Structure 1
Amino acid sequence: MRFEQLFNVTILIIRDLFYAIGISASGILGAVILCLLCIKRKCFIGFSNKFWKKSAKHENIEAFLLNYESIAPKRYNYSDIKKITNSFKDKLGQGGYGCVYKGTLRDGSLVAVKILHDSKGNGEEFLNEVASISKTSHVNIVSLLGFCFEGSKGALIYEFMPNGSLEKFIYNENSLTEGQLCWHDLLRVAVGIARGLEYLHRGCKTRILHFDIKPHNILLSRDFCPKISDFGLAKLCPDTASKVSLLGMRGTIGYIAPEVFCPNFGGVSHKSDVYSYGMMVLEMVGGRKDSNAIVDLTSEFYFPHWIYDRLDMEEIGLRGITNQVEHEKARKMIVAGLWCIQTFPVKRPSMSRVLEILEGSMEFLEIPPKPFMSSPPRLLAADSTAS
């Protein structure tokens, strides 16, 4: 029922009630009318504030896009997005910021189209993606080919990565070999990601901190060239700024550097990305997620501790190592990963140094201190299902 109808019906009910009981209630009736008018005014103000906030958000995004017009990719209408995706027919995946669909441009090029959820704060994730990737040009950074911003609708068009994300090639619950990358390819992927991060941290005019490095956000081309994607949490900072300030915690649990959620460990900086990279590399080495790794059922297991204790052993105990060359590749990745996950940012290497470890000689490989942060205690499923 509309407000005017509700108002009129209320007045009639009150009038009939007062007539029935014989009370002169002009004063009370006036008070009721005044209350209803206040309610109407409050509703109007609430609607008005919501409208102006939404309008301000759209105006801010439009102003931003106008500012980046010279470097931003092609802008599409939403009707174009529907044509490109064939009315969103082929869904590739879904994340926290929206769904991704396979599409085809007019020239026949395959693309991945991310349809962003509406009302994500002030559109920060949309602005982050456009601002960050528009400033990049690197073989290990996914290319943003176009975007759409039309009212409440937003979309981002990326180059299509036939092999999907890295996670499906390193997490395989059913087999330790089928569908997983060999050690040569694992090292090549780790090096490619490191080069991409080094570029973001040092190669751009404006330093870009990603804040969400994880296997899901690493896409693989047809020849398994890794490309860093999903810049929704990224932060741009001047080259002169060694530390950045955050309004809230950013990232994915398991990959978030200690200083991001506890400033006592140090300031948030590009070293926070280094930590996330290290956790990801160790997962690539282990061939499975930390919480699902092979364990002794009588003890708690934390993969970085386990692999650190096996560094000096002739047999590291990892899957797929058949010769000395593969052993050395695995060892380089382990050492690089362990250096990257040092608790204090000052102890972590830059991505340039990480590349030196991965591509350098074994004789100069320096073993890092053992990481002292571990996963929280947990009960193993095997124990709880025994009865």
Structure 2
Amino acid sequence: MIRQEEKRFIAHMDLDTFFVSVERLRNSSLVGKPLIIGGFGDRAVVSTCSYEARAFGVHSAMPMKLAMRLCPQATVLKGDMDSYSHYSRLVSSIVKENVPLMEKASIDEFYIDLTGVDRFFGCSKFIAEVKEKVRKESGLPISYALASNKLISKVATEDAKPDGKKEIAHGLERDYLAPLKIGRMPGIGEKTSILLQQMGVHTIKLLADIPVPMLYNLLGKNGAELSRKANGIDPSPIIPYTEQKSIGAEETFAQDTINMDFLRAELLKLGERLCFQLRQQKKLTGCVTVKLRYANFDTVSKQLVIPYTASDHILLAKTKELFGKLYDKRLLIRLVGVRFSHLVQGNQQIALFEDTLESVRLYQAMDEIRQRYGERSLYRAITAQEPRNKKGE
């Protein structure tokens, strides 16, 4: 039995159909009606949709043409990433200011560590009041689940939706997971799901009953990890949220230069590399910074807060824009740098209304090539200049 002082209390909060809720907040006439958010045109796809549209079989990543045949009465909106990013940051600040420890898991979901609150205030009452505060101060509905770890709270939040709450008592983790389909378990991808179902494993209970050595032989380290999760065990900690998390890269040149084509190419090369890293880490950035160091060692930088994204064509355009605003002295340059910050966990849903499904798949194919053969195995022609100005070459 777990002693009281060893018990963890972890809440998972998830903004319900986040993009849809923001659109309804901006236009109340959309409330209660089928709503689809995605691109326009022959190759457009669905980014997300309301529960009313889901009742007709519409779902994320579906071709828009098919979605409109299934639900012709739906309202279709392109999506406004500026607004979604604004409300994501607003809710982040509300939650962060009112809880002991918060992890921002994505643009619309949060983990909260309430361990210790049970001794003074009561975790159930505390998290319920946070939910109400989010609703009152942002106008957005949010669901939550309270449990002993991140895994159980995340899975249970799906049962709390829409705009609801759920609690899983300590000691009941395995019982709660047991009847659920294996597709509900985080970490089970499509290939693993197909393999397990071919073995007759359709529920988490059956997965939990498989001996660990057998799962390890079948799936390697991931098999042992899935066994642990299927038994409701998840010791992973809450990672404190900070908007300062970032990735960056810079180049110092052996010879100072004023060659604009070369400078732009170097900046885009750095940005392209960072975009690849973002997608590899399954993250989005909300802020771009460009840095320049002149021949006299004066260093300047300029940053721009942007809608969350990991797409090359958006981030490289912002990088070029910042460089154009920053470089005004017409002096020789010795160093250029790019940094992406305000990082959050990302997902394909956001890319689906920035691009067509074909362009999303193009990014995936390009990244697979880079992952296999190296970051510079595939690149834009503009960045293919000889690195004659780099320091040390």
TM-score norm. by structure 2 comes to 0.26
> Larger relative CO (CA 8 A, sep 6+): 1 or 2?
2
**Structure number with larger C-alpha Rg:** 1
